[in-house]
A and B are shown apart, each in its own frame.
Chain A
């Protein structure tokens, strides 16, 4: 249990270390970058604004549409007048996607407008290349100027604090509706530490901000004479100038650590991105090397395990085959039990005198049937043989005989379910018997466990590392890991115990399949045709064996068959029984 816990911890640590690689590849991405942002605001006498924004995206943040956020304050109404985008060096007018209309051609330049509390989100669609685009948005804001007894106030957010991108070259120009003296115009700029403002021509206020970073914002505030907006509705019947100046004084004296922090963060971000780039390169190289090395270790482990398995050669000759029961031989050859081993087991029991074989004709067809003779001595039967005997016994008690080919297949069939239950118990017994004989020595066991753990880790790493770090070499761990795991999982079928026996059994098969096969070529303990038939079934050589004429009348009588009907029909009868059992097992598998 301690080993499992350690294993779990190791695997978890490995996964966590891989997970930490995910952001590495993610951090090299930027958001959008606006290289130029020009805003022209014209204040009208009725207190509304005509605003034109020209935005040049040099990178759209890997998106296929651009977004602009427009400030909307209480009581304001925003009407988008026009949206233009550049297509093939020409400005084209974008169509608005709106409710009920839903009939614009979105590919030729369209925009949508989403009202979201204190802002309006404009999304612009079009055909963009290289993530670059330029847009012009014209809109009108009604009730934008706050008119008091003594002053009128223009106050707008042009860049939102949480917009999140990088904007350079911001130029905002606000034109008042009429001329006034410079003293009467009081412009202020909030949200950035660096930026300049200038009043010109007695009616124009311009702001220049070299750039903003995420966390900064651009808010423009201007107080100007109320006489310039005679048609604007009065927001409040009060003198506001003192409050205005007081608020600006407070802003000036306020703690701007958040803005400093934003700059600092941006600088850090730039540094971090550069560091991430470097780290990504290093990580890529590191993981590429690790992947190759881990794959090499995986392959090495397979070879080392193989070497360990082949260290002690075992000698097993033809004459020793008789020591294996035919089902056991079948299991060794195939690596698992199967219908052939099952039938061979029944024949073997018949050879040992524990079963009788008969051919029954029912509904015009012949079937191979097994029964337990009254005088049968089953005390020497092995554990797996007892399952076969129990199976024959149960069916004999019910039908008078056990006839595999007569068992109907199909889901929910009781007889089939019983046959499958016996088969499974018998197959488990065979497997258990095999495992108890094909024992791994401590070294082999160590390499098997190492292979299993390493295989899992390599496979998991092969799935995660190449995706997280984007490297080809990582994918190498995937097949190596699986191969190593698979090899270690099935290590018992690669032991000398099995390989030596399989070699001998293959030799036996080869002899049976030879043109001039005769039982005299075999060791004495294998020369009995009745026994040989059982082996030939599991070695897929029964057809050839039955054709060879080795099954003499004497042998047939040994099976308690009265005539040579069996010899003539044996091939088709065995095939029929095999098919039925196979079908039954397949249904069971499903």
Chain B
């Protein structure tokens, strides 16, 4: 466990906390960019240079999609956890990840990856479980996938380049989909708050409405 790896892990965890806890949507997108750009570097051994560059570029592109969505939005609803609570949750997740290494958990990657991954997963769970805003949901889903790739790396070791490319593509697709979701929500409802479910509580739905076509 080198100080550089720990520093990279801490930066990724802080990025995840900012992405899910910042009140301003654009700052949240910047936090996402920080987390996703640093994530490929939390590995031992480091991936091949091309794979490393692809992972960082994919992360920045994914964050750019969310930043573009954030610029077009009126201010979304606040995060379920405030900034301080998000940072505290990330710190707790990071500590649990580092502490797990003391239990000799079988793993093939660095402790810093497990710590940063658990921190990211910990801050993402809240906005996903209690969804009030589609922008916050999209950001949290991206943080969750990024965190999961860190945890998987800690357990199975540095992934082969093709798996790294697949992870990068999945992040970009998810970010594009989250951006489209936010844009669709603004068009349909004028905001990013989750709309009421018109079909909830009905025994059967009907496809005859013009909206469904």
Q: Do A and B bind each other?
A: no
| B positions within 8 Å CB-CB of A | none
